Amino acid sequence: MRRVHRRLVIGTAAAVFALTGAGAVALFRTAPRQHADAPPTLVGSFAQFTANEAPSPAPQAGFTANGKPTSLADFRGRVVLLNFWATWCGPCVAEMPSLDRLEAALGGQDFIVIAVSEDRNPAVVEPFFAEHKIQHLSLFHDPGGALASAFAIRGLPTSAVIDTKGNVVGRMEGPAEWDSGQAKALIRHYMGAGGAGTQAQL
């Protein structure tokens, strides 16, 4: 009787080990599922985009819009692409027309591009816009670099995506083609039209 019991215990343990081992292998080989709120997979320069696991409130340091004081709180309810740039920054200059085209394509009640100039003299921005035919962006300026400091900007250009609740949901350093298909898919994702549909457009 003891021998039968012993064989039963050993056989059960072996079966459990085999099932556990198979389960572990299957779990290891199964790719993790992407979170439902995760942005679409990005490639190229957009591979530098980092989505925040835990969205954090955007700093409320003041800046100006067309010469008037404002803050990010004034844009609550819209998805914001916040871009830090300057006229003396070569990559920023190359990037600016694509930001203008993105604003033309998606800008409105649900989305806005806020390209904030870090130039010391705000008077240089309007002539720059005229020269480069920037027609859809407003004149945003960061006097004294207060907003850039609040966002701990390390270099230009740097961009951050802010959701409708005023939370920073992602960020990237360096220039990008903001009017590209994957850029629009990224923005639409945060506007609420993301998911499998936008990922399929990449």
pLDDT digits (tens, 9 = 90+) for 87-142: 999 999 999 999 999 999 999 999 999 999 999 999 999 999 999 999 999 999 99
- pLDDT confidence of residue 44: 81
Phi first, then psi, for residue 133 (nearest 5°) are 55, 45
> Residue written as tokens 């696991």?
53
Structure tokens at 8: 């039963």
Give the span between the Cα atoms of 63 and 68, in whole angstroms: 8
Strands lying side by side in the sheet with 79-85: 50-57, 167-173, 158-162, 79-85, 111-117, 140-141, 63-65, 68-70
Look at residue 25 and tell me whether its pLDDT is greater than 80: no
Residues 6+ apart with CB under 8 A from 23: none
What does pTM read for this prediction? 0.77
CB count within 10 Å of CB 14 equals 10
Tens-place pLDDT, residues 43-100: 888 888 999 988 899 999 999 999 999 999 999 999 999 999 999 999 999 999 999 9
Which three-class secondary structure state does DSSP give residue 91?
helix
- pLDDT confidence of residue 37: 62
For residue 36, list its beta bridge partners. none
CB count within 10 Å of CB 28 equals 7
